[in-house]
Amino acid sequence: MPIFTPGRRWQPAYSPFKQESFGNLVLENIEYAIKSPLFGCRMCGNCLLQETAFICPMECPKGLRNGPCGGSTPEHCYVDKTRPCIWYKIYERSFKLGREEKLLEVLPPLDWEKVGTETWGDVAATVKKNGAGKVFKSIVLNQGESRWKTWELVFGAVRQPDWWKGDSEYHAPGYSEPVSRLEKAFKNGEFVVACEIAPPLSVSTKKLIENINIVKPYVTSINFTDNASATPRMTSWACSKIAIDNGAEPVMQIAARDRTRASLQGEILGASALGVRNMLCITGDSPILAPQPRGRMDINDMDAIQMIWILRRMRDEGHYLDGREIKFPPKFFLGAAAAPFASDPKFQAIREHKKFNAGAQFFQTNLVYDPERMEIWLNELGKRNILGKIYIMIGITPLKSAKMAHYMTQVPGVFVPKAILDRMDQADQKGGPAGAQEEGLKIALEIIEKIKGKQGIQGLHIMPVGWEDIVPRIVTEAGLLPKGFVKPEAVSPKTAA
Ligand code: SF4
């Protein structure tokens, strides 16, 4: 157990994979010998300790370098319940030290060429460049702002390489006309309804197209999940293209879990060329939720915030992460996930603020069953002055059975009040499966009614989990039919296999 990082190391130390000079090897070993017992250092070669309250973020099993995931809890990490969420600890200590605003800086993904090597060499080179004597004197003799500036001069350069240059500022989109129907609806001030459809488990697109046609007249856009629960299904971009072919507006979800920075950038160009205009970046569920055998869990190339940062710059600045120009940049409306019930609302609000600053234009939240408790999170967003500046869609999943209601209590980042569990149990006992379904629908409508009028909320994101044919009823009974709604007729699929 390291002294300053409150948990054991999750992954083994990285091994150097290239030949190095004797001097570097000595420095590496000294750094490792000191930082391993103190911080559980695993020699990521891209040290962030100054920004993370001197708790090593590389303990996080999901490789997050920009804050907790939507499944974090004060009690434990959801990937490994025997350990604390390291990001919860970082936030907790940062608040205690009054350093929480430092957590807003968008930190870079690893430079893998440096992994396994020392960071101290970079620090020494920066100190030398700025005059060792001057730096030393300023840090030792100065106080307050002046000392901090020198500290930043040295460590800021190490932390934020030229190819990244992350900051804690808001970056507005580099365009003004809406690029998608979803964005246009938000800009027109509509209360927007979106829906999620799980991609097929085979190459048959028949059911997918049926579901698209069921929900299409009732919603503005349709999300396609990206290997949710780390379980393979048809890819999100293929479903998005099928949606476009069938006259629907897709939101393509992209999980960092299954991507490298190269595949992300290539896929975004491809999807944009195919006409996909809404992207939603998520870190993705841990492979711990996947069917066995498990895939690798120790290599994470990016997190959701880094994805947003990369994609916004591709779109607005017209270049790849490596700096090469993109002659015809992609166009898209950029979204992110938000988690009102994970960890602590004030911690989550910092993470949402960071996503907003990095380039997120809309949020789709995790499932909400307790609108009153969600207020705490909204208030925290309000304190950060981002409420009303980013479009927020609240996640709604109608409960189909009492069993499902109880299962939801196990889903990371979801909170189901006891009163709802009791209602579902009673409905199931009295009315069987049909009674439980009606009660689930009634609960969903009650939640929607409470959410509709809340300040800062611009829409709903219905996640029916295989119950797509309930969507028309929810939208109709909630009084949320889109403008100019025309009751659908039977539609013949265009590309059904
Ligand atoms: S951030 Fe990287 S270099 Fe710094 S203590 Fe953690 S593993 Fe070591």
Asked whether residue 145 falls in the same domain as residue 247, the answer is no
39 lines ligand 1 (CB under 6 A): yes
What contacts 22, CB < 8 A, 6 or more positions away? Answer: none
Of the candidates 343, 459, 161, the one whose C-alpha atom is nearest the C-alpha of residue 352 is: 343
Q: Is residue 68 part of a domain?
A: yes
Q: Which atom of ligand 1 is nearest to the CA of 35?
A: 5
- Give residue 203 CA to ligand 1 midpoint distance, Å: 43
35 lines ligand 1 (CB under 6 A): yes
**CATH number for 386:** 3.20.20.220
Q: Is residue 167 part of a domain?
A: no
- Give residue 20 CA to ligand 1 midpoint distance, Å: 19
pTM: 0.92
Asked whether residue 40 falls in the same domain as residue 79, the answer is yes
Q: Which atom of ligand 1 is nearest to the CA of 48?
A: 1
Asked whether residue 190 falls in the same domain as residue 307, the answer is yes
What contacts 358, CB < 8 A, 6 or more positions away? Answer: 106, 171, 305, 308, 309, 312
**Cα distance between residue 7 and residue 22, in whole Å:** 32
DSSP readout, 404-438?
Answer: HHHHHTTSTT----HHHHHHHHHHHHHHHHHHHHH
- Give residue 195 CA to ligand 1 midpoint distance, Å: 40
Q: Choose which residue among 29, 32, 43 to substitute to test ligand 1 binding: the one with the highest number of ligand atoms within 8 A of its C-beta.
A: 43
Question: By residue range, what is the domain housing residue 132?
Answer: 22-104+112-159
Contact 107, 310 (CB under 8 A): no
**Cα distance between residue 173 and residue 179, in whole Å:** 11
90 lines ligand 1 (CB under 6 A): no
114 lines ligand 1 (CB under 6 A): no
Residue whose CA lies nearest to ligand 1 atom number 1:
47
- Amino acid identity of residue 133, one-letter, is G
Residue whose CA lies nearest to ligand 1 atom number 4:
47
Asked whether residue 136 falls in the same domain as residue 275, the answer is no
What is the DSSP-derived secondary structure letter of residue 263?
A: H
Asked whether residue 296 falls in the same domain as residue 195, the answer is yes
Asked whether residue 331 falls in the same domain as residue 240, the answer is yes
194 lines ligand 1 (CB under 6 A): no
Q: Which atom of ligand 1 is nearest to the CA of 56?
A: 6
**Cα distance between residue 2 and residue 439, in whole Å:** 50
To which residue do tokens 């157990």 refer? 1
Q: Is residue 437 part of a domain?
A: yes
**Cα distance between residue 344 and residue 6, in whole Å:** 18
Asked whether residue 118 falls in the same domain as residue 201, the answer is no
**What are the distances in angstroms from CA 403 to CA 422, 434, 474?**
11, 13, 21
Write down the pLDDT at residue 315: 98
What is the DSSP-derived secondary structure letter of residue 366?
A: E
Q: Count of domains in the chain?
A: 2
**What are the distances in angstroms from CA 328 to CA 10, 29, 321, 399, 468?**
42, 46, 15, 45, 37
Q: Which two tokens stand for residue 208?
A: 């997918």
47 lines ligand 1 (CB under 6 A): yes
**What are the distances in angstroms from CA 418 to CA 369, 400, 415?**
10, 17, 9
Chain length of the chain: 497
Please state whether 197 falls in left (phi above 0), alpha (psi between -120 and 50) or beta.
Answer: beta
Asked whether residue 376 falls in the same domain as residue 440, the answer is yes
44 lines ligand 1 (CB under 6 A): yes
Q: Which two tokens stand for residue 264?
A: 């992300």
48 lines ligand 1 (CB under 6 A): yes
Contact 209, 244 (CB under 8 A): no
Q: Is residue 399 part of a domain?
A: yes
Asked whether residue 368 falls in the same domain as residue 240, the answer is yes
Q: Is residue 173 part of a domain?
A: no
Asked whether residue 138 falls in the same domain as residue 231, the answer is no
Q: Which atom of ligand 1 is nearest to the CA of 41?
A: 8
Q: What are phi and psi of 486, to 5 degrees?
A: -120, 125
65 lines ligand 1 (CB under 6 A): no
Q: Which two tokens stand for residue 47?
A: 């040290």
Residue whose CA lies nearest to ligand 1 atom number 3:
47
393 lines ligand 1 (CB under 6 A): no
**Cα distance between residue 474 and residue 433, in whole Å:** 18
- For β-strands 192-197 and 391-396, DSSP reports them as unpaired
Q: Where are the alpha helices (DSSP H) in 283-344?
A: 304-316
Asked whether residue 121 falls in the same domain as residue 214, the answer is no
Q: Choose which residue among 4, 56, 117 to substitute to test ligand 1 binding: the one with the highest number of ligand atoms within 8 A of its C-beta.
A: 56
Q: Is residue 15 part of a domain?
A: no
- Give residue 28 CA to ligand 1 midpoint distance, Å: 12
Asked whether residue 297 falls in the same domain as residue 187, the answer is yes
Of the candidates 61, 336, 53, 317, the one whose C-alpha atom is nearest the C-alpha of residue 165 is: 317
Q: Is residue 497 part of a domain?
A: no
Per-residue pLDDT of the chain (497 residues; tens, 9 = 90+): 678 887 776 666 776 566 778 888 888 889 999 999 999 898 998 898 888 999 999 989 888 999 999 888 888 998 988 889 999 999 999 999 999 999 999 999 999 888 888 888 888 888 888 888 888 888 777 777 777 888 888 888 888 999 999 999 999 999 999 999 999 999 999 999 999 999 999 999 999 999 999 999 999 999 999 999 899 999 999 999 999 999 999 999 999 999 999 999 999 999 999 999 999 999 998 888 888 888 777 778 999 999 999 999 999 999 999 999 999 999 999 999 999 999 899 999 999 999 999 999 999 999 999 999 999 999 999 999 999 999 999 999 999 999 999 999 998 889 999 999 999 999 999 999 999 999 999 999 999 999 998 989 999 999 999 999 999 999 999 999 988 888 887 655 444 44
Strand (E) positions, 284-361?
Answer: 333-338
293 preceded by cis ω (within 30°)? yes
110 lines ligand 1 (CB under 6 A): no
**Cα distance between residue 350 and residue 385, in whole Å:** 11
119 lines ligand 1 (CB under 6 A): yes
Q: What are phi and psi of 15, to 5 degrees?
A: -100, 140
SS3 of 49, please? helix
Q: Choose which residue among 14, 49, 160 to substitute to test ligand 1 binding: the one with the highest number of ligand atoms within 8 A of its C-beta.
A: 49
Q: End-to-end distance of the chain based on CA atoms, in angstroms? A: 55
**Cα distance between residue 339 and residue 414, in whole Å:** 8
Contact 183, 331 (CB under 8 A): no
197 lines ligand 1 (CB under 6 A): no
Q: Is residue 232 part of a domain?
A: yes
